[in-house]
Amino acid sequence: MTTPKTFLEDLGERISRVRLYFDPVTLFFLFFPTSMFILFLVTPLIGMLGIAFVYKGAPSLEWFIRIFTSEYYINFFGRGTPWYYDEKFNMLVITGADYGVILNSLIVASIVTLVTTIWGIILALLFSKYDFRGKDFFRILSMVPLLLSPFVNALVIKKIFNPYNGFINWLLHDTLGILPFRLYIDGLAGIALTQIITYYPIVALNIYSSMLNIDSSLEEQGENLGAEGFTLLRRITIPLSYPGIMSGATLVFIFSLEDLTAPIVFHGHPLAKKLISFQIYTRFISETGLRSPEIAALAVFLLFIALTFFVLIRNYVSLRSYASVSRGRMMRKLEKMGIKGYIVVYFFILPILILTSLPQIGVVLLAFSTRWVNTVFPEGFTLMNLIEIFSNPDVFKYLRNSVMYAAMALVIIFFLALSTAYVTNRLRVRGIAVIDLLSTSPIALPGIVIAISYFYFYATLFRDTILDPTNVLYFNPLPILIIGYSIRRLPFALRAIYAGIQQVHVNLEEASMNIGAGRFLTIRKILLPLISPNVLSGLLISFIYIVGEVSISIIIGILNMDYAPLTVYMRDVMLSAVGSQYIAAALGFTLMSMQLLVIIIITFVFKQRYAYIGI
């Protein structure tokens, strides 16, 4: 018979367990990401709220009242018509109508989200349910728009739909005669079209992932109860795919709201300027970084929308986790496609996939051409545009800056991602969900909002120093850009490392510590070697997205061009002389090549699936 433990013995055992559980390594892993998120994510956003909600030194809603009562920002009746036919030039002009800055942004984002979601469902169903010849080629084509070339993609889309010498009008009107009129897309419609082509793979990949995780027995039970065809799709497959659908659609909605590249390229049309993101950008630039409460109010509005959708979708997805079964999940056998299916695939889906791949093809052609002004296709072939990037110091420094900033940011991202993934996987303590929420939220927060909040934060906290963005003579954006990149692109590396730690059983670590190894040694000798492919693939993905970052780069980097990153230079040359566009295209081709290299390394070297963007 064992004697009962005394109070002191029981307390001693509890203290020993706590000391084992919360050793210096786990305490650091808790403290480091928590302090980083509070200092460089939560605090700047709160500071921006303080500017937006203050009027004449007192708390007020004045700036929001001005925005929401101004016809410039909200006009429920609208001005103009979305499209009209020009008889003189035999041209159908589609530009969109003007409902004010806020409603324009919401309408464009809603249209982009709706179209990309419908198209994403079609592609996900095609790839997850059917087996047909050329399937791999179709999947590659559907992923081509992920090869982003900031600003240049939008420029190529604008050229492709040019009413007189664009490829679409040349093919459909001049050559095939399918269109009885010329098609001219500009303004809000041009922006929406560009975003649809750019963002639909995000939705398609999220939905595809959800459909792969559906237990086939659930669909078979539906068939046994009489559901088949469209009924099975509507009642079983689509509802079980809601997590992927909602996650992808939410991200596209937020990305559309915050997008700067398409509005800047289409800014020649007045309607293209009447979007929230472009208003924040232009007012920030024109006011030379002054702390404008109106800019802060617009940024807060974007922040409110993003956070609302992000929190709701995370909760919604967790509530519908029954869509996948982690153990014993049955894979449904792929159906062979019939003649009707092949007709739909090759005569409807394939042309659309080719169309959505044209911007990337156009970037490559523009990068290696000498002239593309008033012709359907680029003219001449040259390597000088690519050589110019590396031989001209005034161009190469921007590429060097971006690569250097990305490399520095990866060091911070590594420690942030490892510590966050470890504590959220291994520790079961109250409040750990908050760290998980903070670490994944940057992927759904508008980059322009983070950039504006950083400007206010550093201008206030580091007044009259080299970190003060308003100090135009001595300001050095390097530290701000590195921190901003680290926070904003953390989720890509975090997701990969988190998945790796999940696959390593905790018993391996416990066995190591039981024979005398400390937690730090265990992580270094046991855990890190086992998850090294996940770490490297996650860091590579983060690197690519850092180099192509637009919002933070433009808002902060433009304040000192000597330290500006690559995308700032691309923006400048896109808005300057026509000849400079070929250098921008060559830079875009370089970025696309880097992305392809990363995908190849992750897929064939690390034997992992290229990480898709999701919440």
Least confidently predicted of 65-79, 314-328, 528-542 = 314-328
Alpha-carbon separation of residue 213 from 218, 312, 499, 511 (angstroms): 11, 22, 16, 33
* SS3 of 126-142: HHHHEECCCHHHHHHHH
* 154 plus 265 within the same structural domain: yes
CA distance to 118, 347, 441, per residue, from 437 (Å): 29, 44, 6
pLDDT of 193: 96
CA 208 to chain CA mean position, Å:
18
Q: Which residue has the tokens 């394939």?
A: 350
List the one residue out of 198, 194, 200 whose CA is nearest residue 114: 200
Is 487 a member of any domain? Answer: yes
pLDDT for position 323: 42
314 inside domain: yes
Closest C-alpha to 199, from 254, 241, 152, 239: 254
Is there a single domain that holds both residue 131 and residue 161? Answer: yes
Asked if the structure places residue 486 within a domain, the reply is yes
According to the model, what pLDDT value does residue 609 have? Answer: 60
Q: Which of 196-205, 532-541, 570-579 has the lowest mean pLDDT?
A: 570-579
Q: Phi/psi zone of residue 460: left (φ > 0), alpha (ψ -120 to 50 degrees), beta?
A: alpha
* Sequence-ordered list of residues with C-beta below 8 angstroms from that of 21, at least 6 positions apart, any chain: 427
The mean pLDDT value of the chain amounts to 86
CATH number of domain containing 191? 1.10.3720.10
State which residues form the domain around 534. 22-48+383-615
Do residues 144 and 133 make contact, with C-beta atoms less than 8 angstroms apart?
A: no
Average pLDDT over residues 95-105: 95
The answer to whether residue 328 scores a pLDDT higher than 80 is: no
Q: Residue 266 pLDDT more than 50?
A: yes
Segment 10-26 mean pLDDT: 64
Give this prediction's pTM: 0.90
Tokens at 587, concatenated: 């830079």
Q: In 242-351, at which residue ranges do the beta strands (DSSP E only) sit?
A: 335-336
Q: Are residues 356 and 403 in the same domain?
A: no
Give, as one character, the DSSP assignment of residue 333: P
Mean pLDDT of 90-113: 95
Q: Note whether 352 and 420 are same-domain residues.
A: no
Q: Do residue 273 and residue 146 come from a single domain? A: yes
DSSP reduced 3-state for 494: helix
pLDDT at 360 over 90: yes
Cα distance from N-terminal residue to C-terminal residue, the chain: 54
Contact 458, 449 (CB under 8 A): no
Q: What is the total count of domains within the chain?
A: 2
d(Cα 120, Cα 126) in Å, to the nearest integer? 10
Task: Report the alpha-carbon distance of residue 47 to residue 62 in Å, rounded.
Answer: 17
- pLDDT, average across residues 576-594: 84
Clarify whether residues 175 and 152 are in a common domain.
Answer: yes
Q: Are residues 76 and 35 both part of a single domain?
A: no
Q: Residue 360 is encoded by which pair of tokens?
A: 């990337």
CB burial readout 447-469, b (16+ within 10 A) else e:
bbbbbbbbbbbbbeebeeeebbb
Q: Residue 219 in 3-state DSSP? A: helix
Query: 110 and 253 in contact (C-beta within 8 Å)?
Result: yes
Q: Is beta strand 130-131 parallel, antiparallel or unpaired with respect to 335-336? A: parallel
Q: Give the C-alpha separation, 152 to 155, whole Å.
A: 5
Alpha helices in 22-52 (DSSP H): 24-37, 43-52
Instruction: Look at residue 215 and tell me if it is in a domain.
Output: yes
Distance CA 39, CA 46 (A): 10
501 and 389 housed in the same domain: yes
**Residue 54, in any domain of the structure:** no
State the average pLDDT over residues 153-157. Answer: 91
Averaged pLDDT, 148-160? 90
401 and 305 share a domain?
A: no
238-251 per-position pLDDT tens digit: 888 888 888 889 98
Residues 86/87/88/94 CA torsion (nearest 10 deg): 20
CA distance 495 to 538: 7
User: Does residue 322 register a pLDDT over 70?
Assistant: no
The per-residue pLDDT for 1 is 46
**352 and 425 housed in the same domain:** no
User: Going by DSSP bridges, is the β-strand pair 58-59/182-185 parallel, antiparallel, or unpaired?
Assistant: unpaired
Residue 589 lies in a domain: yes
pLDDT of 52 above 70 = yes
What digits encode the pLDDT tens for the residues 177-229? 999 999 999 999 999 999 999 999 999 988 888 888 777 776 667 666 666 66
Distance of CA 92 to the CA centre of its chain: 33
Whether residue 373 lies inside any domain: the answer is: no
Of 47-61, 141-155, 329-343, give the lowest mean pLDDT range.
329-343
Q: Dump pLDDT digits (tens) for 69-80.
A: 999 999 998 898
Q: Do 406 and 487 have their domain in common?
A: yes
What average pLDDT does range 439-454 have in this prediction?
90
Q: Is the pLDDT of residue 112 over 60?
A: yes
> What is the per-residue pLDDT across 329-348, written as a single tens digit (0 to 9) for each?
555 677 888 898 899 999 99
Q: Which amino acid is at 65?
A: I
Question: Among 403-417, 508-522, 555-569, whose mean pLDDT is lowest?
Answer: 508-522
Residue 419 forms part of a structural domain: yes
Residue 441 and residue 568 in one domain:
yes
The whole-number average pLDDT for the span 74-103 is 93
